[in-house]
Amino acid sequence: MRLAALAKINLQLTVTGTRPDGYHELRTVFQSISLHDDLMIERSRRPGIELSISGAELDPGPKNLVWRALDLLSRELRLSGGWRARLEKRIPMGAGLGGGSSDAATALVGGVRLTGKRIAPERLLEMAASLGADVPFFLVGGRALGVGRGDEVYPLEEGRRRWVVVVLPKEIRVATPDAYRWLDAKLTKAASPPKLFLSCARSWSLEDADLLNAFEAVVFDRYPILREMKRRLLQAGAAGAALAGSGSAVFGLFQNPAHARRAARKFQEAQVYVARTVTRGEFGRWGARRREA
């Protein structure tokens, strides 16, 4: 079975503090985009998991989220035999686009389909959350509100279709733990978070200019080129632009594909991707397009 694992952007992302369990309390609006990895999976009579990866240098063993998702599924369903999987990476790593989390969720969904068994949606969400805070969103897709660690996901009304230009400097990767550590230091010094998250009601009708990412306050200080790329996206006509997740990509929203492609050509020195937003209904239909390999 061949499956598409779609990337995401965060239209809004605020960190309000640290939770008693040591994780961070988030308020975020996720949005699926059409940039994707490809995952091929099949059942095997031999026990164990054989995973191969192209397009990126990643550990194909137990540290990999696809490997962990398939292992978790085997234990949950008490399966005999094992898995063979091949992952083709297109979503850049360390860019804030959720590639690893999407791969894990896609492995769960595809694996369940291949076995012909059923897992209750609530249990599948719990399994996804055990793999990573962003993973549950990739079981939902479209536009959604994430709270708690980001693992509590609530579908939101879809926005208008937008084309997305993602710009990633070739020499910069921001590790998520580093970004949180920088932000923790800033939150400790501040009397309150830099900006309050928009109300849930407002989140149902976000405009392009409402983009907000609390990590910009610390990531841009350390990597001014990212601030400059955001400025250039706005100069190129983006209706809104922001840091992607905790970095190290920035993205701009455009109202038509021709305008997006013209803007993308202005960033010859960087990795550039042109995609579009994907609604929840389309996200589900991507599943219908997934085909036997």
Instruction: Show the tokens assigned to 161.
Output: 């279709």
Strand-pair partners of 135? none
Task: Tell me the residue ranges of DSSP E strands in the chain.
Answer: 2-18, 24-44, 48-54, 82-88, 143-148, 152-155, 163-168, 212-213, 240-243, 250-254, 271-276
Check if 134 is active-site: yes
The residue annotated as part of the active site, out of 89, 134, 151, 230, is 134
The catalytic position among 8, 37, 103, 151 is 8
- 265 Cβ contact list (under 8 Å, min separation 6): none
Residue 286's contacts (CB-CB under 8 Å, 6 or more residues apart) are 4, 6, 278
| Share of the chain residues as helix, strand and coil, in percent rounded to the nearest 5 | 35, 30, 35
Tokens 């190129």 correspond to 236
Mind telling me the catalytic residues? Answer: 8, 134
